[in-house]
Amino acid sequence: MPHLTLEYTDNLAPHLAPDILPRLNRALLASSLFAESDLKSRALLLDQWCVGVEAAPRAFAHVRVALLSGRPPGAKRALAEAVLAALADACAPPPGAELQLSVEIVDIDAASYAKEVRNGR
């Protein structure tokens, strides 16, 4: 917790900062809501995708941040805005294309969340 997932369309790949995940993690850390080592992020390159039903040039990047339930709505809204700013900063729209960037915040049910940390020798 938190778990961040970035999905991006493959036409966006050349326009994405190579260090986008560290950047997004820094945006999460700056919120002061989380411990450093708890930030767990992954990116999924989408090679099968479709926006709308028209043949217009488009792209999208979507971030989902899942955090333990109980945060106030204002903190979640501010977090989404901060992550969106970091995302926008780390990618450019492909030439001639419309790029949609979005961030959603999801509550993880804290009562049933189970976690364990192990250290390899």
Contacts of 99 (CB under 8 A, 6+ apart): 12, 58, 59, 60, 61, 91, 92, 93
**Judged by CB under 8 A, which of 14, 32, 70, 111 binds a copy of itself?**
111
Please check whether residue 8 is in contact with residue 61, taking contact to mean a CB–CB distance below 8 angstroms: yes
**Judged by CB under 8 A, which of 31, 32, 56, 70 binds a copy of itself?**
56
2 binds a copy of itself (CB under 8 A): no
Pick 70 or 101: Cβ nearer a copy of itself: 101
Count of alpha carbons within 13 angstroms of residue 23, beta-carbon side:
18
Write the CA distances from 88 to 81, 84, 100, 103, integer angstroms: 10, 6, 10, 11
50 binds a copy of itself (CB under 8 A): yes
**Judged by CB under 8 A, which of 40, 86, 89, 90 binds a copy of itself?**
40
Task: Say which residue the tokens 């700013």 belong to.
Answer: 85
13 binds a copy of itself (CB under 8 A): no
36 binds a copy of itself (CB under 8 A): yes
Please check whether residue 25 is in contact with residue 41, taking contact to mean a CB–CB distance below 8 angstroms: yes
Site for a copy of itself in 74-103 (CB under 8 A): 76-77, 79-81, 83-84, 88, 92-103
**Judged by CB under 8 A, which of 14, 31, 32, 58 binds a copy of itself?**
58
38 binds a copy of itself (CB under 8 A): yes
